[in-house]
Amino acid sequence: MPTKTIAGKVVQVNDEGFMTDPNEWDKDIAAEIAQEEGLTELTEAHWKVIDWSRETAKGLNGKSPTLRQITTGTGVSTKELFALFPKGPAKKVARISGLGKPEGCV
């Protein structure tokens, strides 16, 4: 399995760059991945979505929540989610959260 150094830590990733072991994740890794995704700062609103997604993934056998699950579970509207994580929020949330690619995402 491929590895990548993120925030000075070597982590396992798949061919698309998604982390494969959520236990290797930390907030420094999240911040660096966010930079790669074009987000200069992770605000409290970003962390609300990230933390909720990580917690929810535990109940989904480690699977990333879908866009609909995120909006319903966090109370963040789809429009707000696109503002926080432009151009594919479900995938960006999953990457930044150290989770796998959400099912149904291309």
Query: CA 79 to CA 19: how far, in whole Å?
Result: 26
pTM (two decimals): 0.92
pLDDT band at 104 (very low <50, low <70, confident <90, very high): low
Query: CA 91 to CA 106: how far, in whole Å?
Result: 9
On whether the CB atoms of residues 57 and 99 are closer than 8 A, the answer is yes
What is the total residue count of the chain? 106
The burial class, CB within 10 Å (0-12 / 13-18 / 19+), for 89 is: buried
Domain boundaries, the chain: 3-96
Give catalytic residue positions.
Answer: 105
User: In degrees to the nearest 10, what's the CA dihedral of 31, 34, 85, 68?
Assistant: -70
On whether the CB atoms of residues 98 and 54 are closer than 8 A, the answer is yes
pLDDT band at 79 (very low <50, low <70, confident <90, very high): very high
